Amino acid sequence: MNYFSTRGAGPVRLDEALRSGIAVDGGLFLPERLPAFSIADFDSVESIPEVATVLLRPFFAGSALAGDIEEILAETFSFEIPTTELPVDGKKLSMLELYHGPTAAFKDVGAGFLAACLSRLEGDVDAPLIILVATSGDTGGAVAAAFDKRPGMRVVVLFPDGRVSARQEHQLCCWSDNVLSLKVRGAFDDCQALVKAAMADKSLSAMHRFSSANSINIGRLLPQSTYYAAASLRHYRRTGNKPGFIIPTGNLGNASACIVAREMGLPIGPVILATNANKTIADYFESLEWLPRASLQTLASAMDVGNPSNMERLRKLIGEADVLREQLGVASASDDEIKTAIRQDFAEFGFATCPHTATATHTWRQLDSGLKDQYDWILVATAHPAKFETIVEPLIGEPVLLPPEMEELLSRPSRSVSIEPELTALAAALEDVG
């Protein structure tokens, strides 16, 4: 299987696409073709690792990792990803819980897959591979956890100062010496721009071997597609219906994974993107003009993205806005609507939801009644509410219990370095990465 840039460069094999993260022309990698599956292809498999093995094996064709695929996926999916039915009378509604990994967010899946792959490809080299990761809250912690203490690997996490929750920040800064946490005086988009600029800079690339663990890396997209495949198969086998998914959306990586799974033939119905007040995608669908802008700070901080990178993938894979909006829905939620949804979720479902998940529950409640009744819906829960206790607890009137994994991380010491949102500042910080 060959991989090409959205801007034309290539071909490369999966191994090189994983290593480099971004193509030499600045584009994002996509496979030369998506495999086509029938539902019957998955008749003999049940668990997520088993579904993932069938789904992803074609992507490993020609890769040095092909013989390790089952071990890689067993490492990646070492925790449960349940789908829980929600107590809503007269409606077929459930929640895909993606927050049971080591840092309590869906990013643990893609980060674990990348670490499992790259440690096999690169772990024994003398010159370490430096994983650059921009984060709006959850990605950096997941990547740091996945690569923590792995030989031959260094991680540099860039996060926006003052724009992540206190617990998120601690999770970004509590790792071993092979993880450098950089607090950038700017927004997430500044962090993302720094990562792209560093990887495109010839002098820096000559000094360091870079890769990226953001959702621009194809190694994030592939494993995330598997939990949509598994959830849709479980639902279809039980009900005979293709479920619709409502997905909290920031940089568009998680939603793109669902769309890829549907494109490959999995039984997935409508896909609706739930955004916060950053409405770049919604405005694109309405105006047919792609107009990235500075991000707005919201309660759903991990989704504060004004220039979603993966739109480039979707435009290449599916088409421009006039085509995309025929296949995707999009809705946005204000901070006040997020607060209302958190209260309603707790009252109706009996448990707390995080601000990001609340964009999905709000979107479901606002669906046209015909569309709501026509499909069974799966809402995607992307992070544990305990990561946002200062927002959630006052709204529900009681504490949110910490999962054991988070409690252990929060007991560790924290360290970070502050930098300006400039490439020279990042370059100086990288001098300390050996």
Q: Name the residue with higher pLDDT: 136 or 289.
A: 289
Query: Is residue 276 in some structural domain?
Result: yes
Residue in this structure with the two tokens 């870079």, named with its chain if needed: 210
Q: Is the model's pLDDT at 262 over the cut of 60? A: yes
Token readout for 397 is: 């009137």
Which residues, in sequence order, are CB contacts of 52 under 8 Å at separation 6+? 73, 76, 77, 223, 226, 229, 230
Tens of pLDDT along 378-392? 999 999 999 999 999
Q: Which H or E run contains 211?
A: strand 209-212
Average pLDDT estimate for 169-186: 94
The mean of the pLDDT values for the chain is 94
Asked if residue 28 has pLDDT above 70, the reply is yes
Q: 191-195 long-range CB contacts below 8 Å, 24 or more apart?
A: 191/134, 191/135, 191/136, 191/158, 191/159, 191/160, 191/421, 192/134, 192/251, 192/305, 192/307, 192/309, 193/421, 194/134, 194/158, 194/421, 194/422, 194/423, 194/426, 195/132, 195/133, 195/134, 195/158
Q: Is residue 434 over pLDDT 60?
A: no
For the record, the structure tokens of 201 come out as 């800079």
C-alpha 155/C-alpha 157 separation (Å) is 6
Between residues 382 and 126, the one the model is more confident about:
382
pLDDT for residue 127: 82
399 in a domain, yes or no? yes
How long is the chain? Answer: 434
Residue 183 falls within a domain, yes or no? no
CA–CA separation, 328 vs 260, rounded Å? 12
Q: Domain range holding 312?
A: 67-105+219-406
Output the pLDDT for position 151. 87
pTM of the model: 0.91
- pLDDT level of residue 337 (50, 70, 90 thresholds): very high
Asked if residue 389 is part of any domain, the answer here is yes
The pLDDT tens digits of the residues spanning 356-381 come to 999 999 999 999 999 999 999 999 99
User: What b/e sequence results for 133-153 when a residue is b if at least 16 CB atoms lie within 10 Å of its CB, and e otherwise?
Assistant: bbbbbbbbbbbbbbbbebebb
Greater confidence, 31 or 168?
Answer: 31
Q: Is 134 helix (H, G, I), strand (E, B) or coil?
A: strand
Say which residues have a Cβ less than 8 Å from residue 404's Cβ, sequence separation at least 6: none
Q: What is the pLDDT of residue 124?
A: 66
Residue 125: its pLDDT value, please?
A: 65
pLDDT digits (tens, 9 = 90+) for 61-99: 999 999 999 999 999 999 999 999 999 877 799 999 999
User: Which pLDDT does position 188 carry in this prediction?
Assistant: 85
Helix/strand/coil for 365: helix
Q: How far is Cα 434 from Cα 328, in angstroms, rounded to an integer?
A: 44
In a domain? residue 302: yes
397: in domain: yes
pLDDT at 149 over 60: yes
Instruction: DSSP for 136-188, please give it.
Output: SSSHHHHHHHHHTT-TTEEEEEEEETTSS-HHHHHHHS---TTEEEEEESS-H
Q: Minimal CA–CA distance to 378: which of 298, 266, 220, 271?
A: 271
Residue 173 has which token pair? 């800064």
pLDDT, residue 166, reads 87
Higher pLDDT: 257 or 138? It is: 257
User: In this structure, what CATH number is given to the domain that contains residue 84?
Assistant: 3.40.50.1100
- Looking at the domain assignment, is residue 325 inside a domain? yes
Tokens for 29, please give them: 């990698």
How many percent of the chain have pLDDT more than 90?
82
Q: How many domains does the chain have?
A: 1
pLDDT digits (tens, 9 = 90+) for 275-322: 999 999 999 999 999 999 998 999 998 899 999 999 999 999 999 999
**Which H or E run includes 54?**
helix 48-56
Q: Please indicate, yes or no, if residue 46 is contained in any of the structural domains.
A: no
pLDDT at 184 over 90: yes
